[in-house]
Amino acid sequence: MLTLHSYWRSSAAYRVRIALSLKGLEFAQVTHDLRQNAHLEPGYRALNPQHLVPALDTGDAVLTQSPAILEWLEETHPEPALLPSTPSSRAIVRSMCDLIACDIHPLNNLRVLRELKTEFGADASRLDLWARGWIAEGFTALEVLVEKHGQGFCFGDTPTLADCFLIPQIFSAQRFGVDLRPYPALRAVNERCDEHPAFVRAHPIHQPDADQVDS
């Protein structure tokens, strides 16, 4: 049995849940409330020295960093494929993933926002403004790629790793109040995924540690 160390609202953990669900893989969850610094407890730090979520215990190894975990899932459970068949197409999908994982998400995750608040005195309105700005810049570029390559999903007419990255980032964008109207291609993918059982199962509100009412 795979064991996913997770937090319901973590975008990176959400990516892994989507991929596991798309692959039809059963997994157990161990949850760590990041707001309560549960990920800093010694037991978890011993498992993942970076003390971040997610971490995936495969039984043979503990894997960290969501892009690496998703690549491992694709290599070890190749069906259904979440990468296209040609090298160029795979590179395009990975570029979409990296645009989110490298250029959007790190700038609006919890530990960065905490640093901006505690060390630089940013209040809630400035934190939201910061997050919205970086998300909008990334989504503007991603919109062009998805409009060009998507046919219902980010790339083509079936889910890929790019969708595993996009949907959690849209969930985060909505929390920060990002106006999604300028991104019709991204919104169309999100609406398609809202109806896909694998994405529904992976949604934060359906996780065992989800807040009853998200404040």
The DSSP bridge partners found for residue 61 are: none
Domain 2-80, CATH: 3.40.30.10
In whole angstroms, give the CA distance from residue 213 to residue 65: 28
Q: Phi and psi for 183 in degrees, rounded to 5?
A: -125, 70
Joined together, the tokens standing for residue 47 give 């498992």
Share of the chain above pLDDT 70, in %: 99
Q: How do residues 154-205 score in pLDDT, each as one tens digit?
A: 999 999 999 999 999 999 999 999 999 999 999 999 999 999 999 999 999 9
Residue with tokens 């979520």: 53
Residues of the chain with CATH 1.20.1050.10: 87-199
Q: Between these two residues, 34 and 2, which has the higher pLDDT value?
A: 2
| Residue where the block lists tokens 């989800």 | 210
Chain segment 61-120, per-residue pLDDT in tens = 999 999 999 999 999 999 999 999 999 999 999 999 999 999 999 998 888 998 999 999
pLDDT of residue 110: 83
Q: pLDDT at position 213, please?
A: 54
Query: CA-CA distance, 40 to 67, in Å (whole number)?
Result: 22
As a whole number of angstroms, the distance between CA 129 and CA 124 comes to 9
Region(s) of the chain under CATH 3.40.30.10 = 2-80
User: What pLDDT, on a 0 to 100 scale, did the predictor assign at position 111?
Assistant: 83
pLDDT, averaged across the chain: 95
In this predicted structure, the answer to whether residue 214 has a pLDDT above a threshold of 60 is no
pLDDT at 215 over 50: no
The answer to whether the beta carbons of residues 149 and 113 sit under 8 Å apart is no
Can you tell me whether residue 30 is helix, strand or coil?
strand
Residue 134 predicted with pLDDT over 90: yes
Q: pLDDT tens digits, residue range 43-52? A: 999 999 998 9
Residue 185: how many other CB atoms lie within 10 Å: 18
Tokens 């059982």 sit on residue: 197
What is the mean predicted confidence (pLDDT) over 122-150? 96
> What fold, for 87-199?
Glutathione S-transferase Yfyf (Class Pi); Chain A, domain 2 (1.20.1050)
